[in-house]
Amino acid sequence: MILKKIFIVLSGMLFCSQAIASTGFYVGADGGANITGWRGKDNVGKRISFASHGIIGDVFAGVGVGEGTYYVGLETFFNDASNKSTYRNLNGGATERRVSRTYGYGISLLPGLNLSGSLLYLRLGYVKTRYQINDVFLNANRTRPFIVGAQVGVGMQSALSENTDIRGEYVFSTYHSYNNINGSFTPRETKLVIAVIYKFC
């Protein structure tokens, strides 16, 4: 279902006719759907897996340089999301884990190709995200760790006007594991967003 949405967004953007500016500084904001999944083990060693659907928004700033068909950009970003979920195991240890995905930030490299007035690009990034983990019942514990991870994504960007672009993007993020007295915790995220960009050129 997610891949179908990505295809519809990116295919539609190919029909934008105005050329994008390949070189210069820019700022922007995006919003869309975010799916966060959590895997690991609870306090009795039972494997757990649960997920949450939410909304995510980013603000970002970057610089891009293009020469002919080829393009490379460097972008820094800050985001916040609404994802929350709860896992319960009432047998053999009585575990309840409530997890919230809060804010994150990072930096990305965006290599790409200019194709008939649209930019097709990849996102290769580093991300650091704060989670709130509330363990109740046995070994009650509340932590708010930052967890680091890597991002990979694909997007399409096209011009709306001389200084304004629109882009659609799919990004997958995988994070390092976090461990405490109640077990292990490994987040993963998938997001599909639409962004509006203002270019200083």
pLDDT, tens only, 34-85: 999 988 777 677 787 888 999 999 999 999 998 889 999 999 999 999 999 8
Name the H helices within the chain. Answer: 2-13
Please state, for a pLDDT cut of 70, what percent of the chain lies above it: 82
Task: Kindly report which listed range (87-96, 128-137, 164-173) carries the lowest average pLDDT score.
Answer: 87-96
pTM for this predicted structure: 0.82
Domain 2-188+190-194 has CATH 2.40.160.20: yes
Task: Kindly report which listed range (76-80, 146-150, 175-179) carries the lowest average pLDDT score.
Answer: 175-179
Cα–Cα nearest to 103, from 124, 82, 134: 82
Calpha distance 104→41 (Å, rounded):
24
Calpha distance 98→85 (Å, rounded):
6
Q: What is the dihedral of CA 43, 48, 49, 52, to 10 degrees?
A: -40
Give the 3-state secondary structure of residue 144: coil
